[in-house]
Amino acid sequence: MVELINPPDPRTLLPPLLACLPTAFVSPRPPPALLPLLSPILRQRIQILTSVSTSSSDSWLRLLCWDATKAERVQSIVDDATFEPHPVSGEIELPTEIPVTYKRIDDETLRAQVLLPEYRLTVVYLWCPDDEQGGGRGWRVAELLPREGPAEDESSWSSSIGEANDQAKEKLLADALDDGAETQPVDNRLAEDDDDDDDYWAQYDATPGNKTPAPRAGSSNNQPSGLSEASYFSQYGNVQPAMDNHDPEEEQPEVGPSSLNGDMLASLLRRQVNGLDDTAPRTNGYAAGEVPSDAAARSLSHPRPASASSGSSDAVAKLEQEAESQSTYEIGVKQHICTSIKSLFRLAKATGMSRVDFQSMVRTELELLDVTDVDD
């Protein structure tokens, strides 16, 4: 259902507004008769700002204009103007012709502009379909502007509501066409970028020694001309994956010679890796061809390390392991103690205990702990 909007009647709307303007120099608060004439948002603006204002010199008249510079000009114009009521009717006299223009902002916002050249003012009205505080649906004051010379955006206003609606539709269509025209050069640039990508990958394929086939953007057939599909994809088998930690080229076939006692370290590592031992087999602890004796038997009764170096290295490794374990335990215990003290401090703070009282309590407990250790 289309809403019926009647054009504003300036001779009904303007006199109550113009009668309230001179009172801005008498009281810092707007008169009660002014608030129902304003749009809901302008009414709320004036009510809030005048209620929190602490200076008696601040005039609510400036609040009728949203631009600070224009608000000063409005106040200056009203200072110089004379709003005299008619001696018979008691209302402010208005000119015979009052031009009214309209502008449709969107589907829910329609504005009317009432020009008053004699007073150098322009009153902008807003159609409010639902305004209980203002007395129901109707036109409400949205802004009071100074009018000194021709308006800058006069061409955007229409002489009737119907023309304002048609102009809004034409503007909406023009904006849509402009958006489509702006996206077309973007599509052309994307096509040019695809061509540049093709040239780039073509140079990449022509690089000598390159083993990785390059993709061809925007092509349905990805393999280069002259290669079958199987041959094209088989080239990927020669490429080393970036996430593969195993690289055959980095492998060392064997341990090289060592400066430690000839090649003893290399030979030991070979035997350990390959499971080989070039020493002759022993029987009951004796080497082949060795004649057992009492001294040798006594030496076998006490097992010893194979060599002094291996025995010392095992002992050192065992001590290092024990030291590391001990260090780990100590760190864990210290962390547990620190965490427990912090938790106790948070608990004491939550109950209202101060930091000084908590520290005193901890020191007392530590002193008692020393006493109990001595007694034990």
Question: Of 109, 105, 141, which is closest to residue 125 (Cα–Cα)?
Answer: 141
Dihedral-angle region of residue 166 (phi above 0 means left; psi in -120 to 50 means alpha; beta otherwise):
alpha
**pLDDT for 277 beyond 90:** no
Provide the 8-state DSSP code for 64.
G
pTM for this entry: 0.48
Mean pLDDT of 156-168: 88
Mean pLDDT of 23-38: 89
* CB distance 131 to 73 below 8 Å: no
* CB distance 16 to 135 below 8 Å: no
* CB distance 47 to 201 below 8 Å: no
Predicted confidence (pLDDT) per residue in 220-241, tens digit: 444 555 556 677 777 766 665 5
Q: Which residue has the higher pLDDT, 321 or 269?
A: 321
Predicted confidence (pLDDT) per residue in 174-217, tens digit: 877 877 666 566 556 666 666 666 666 666 555 555 545 555 54
What's the pLDDT score for residue 247? 59
* CB distance 124 to 113 below 8 Å: yes
**For residue 91, what pLDDT band results from cuts at 50, 70 and 90?**
confident
Mean pLDDT of 258-276: 53
What's the pLDDT score for residue 373? 63
**For residue 264, what pLDDT band results from cuts at 50, 70 and 90?**
low
What's the pLDDT score for residue 290? 54
Alpha helices in the chain, H assignment, sequence order: 10-20, 40-52, 68-80, 161-205, 229-234, 264-274, 294-301, 308-350, 355-375
The position carrying tokens 């925007």 is 218
Alpha carbon dihedral 122, 123, 125, 131, in 10-degree steps, equals: 170
Q: Which residue has the higher pLDDT, 44 or 86?
A: 44
**For residue 173, what pLDDT band results from cuts at 50, 70 and 90?**
confident
What's the pLDDT score for residue 139? 95
Mean pLDDT of 54-66: 83
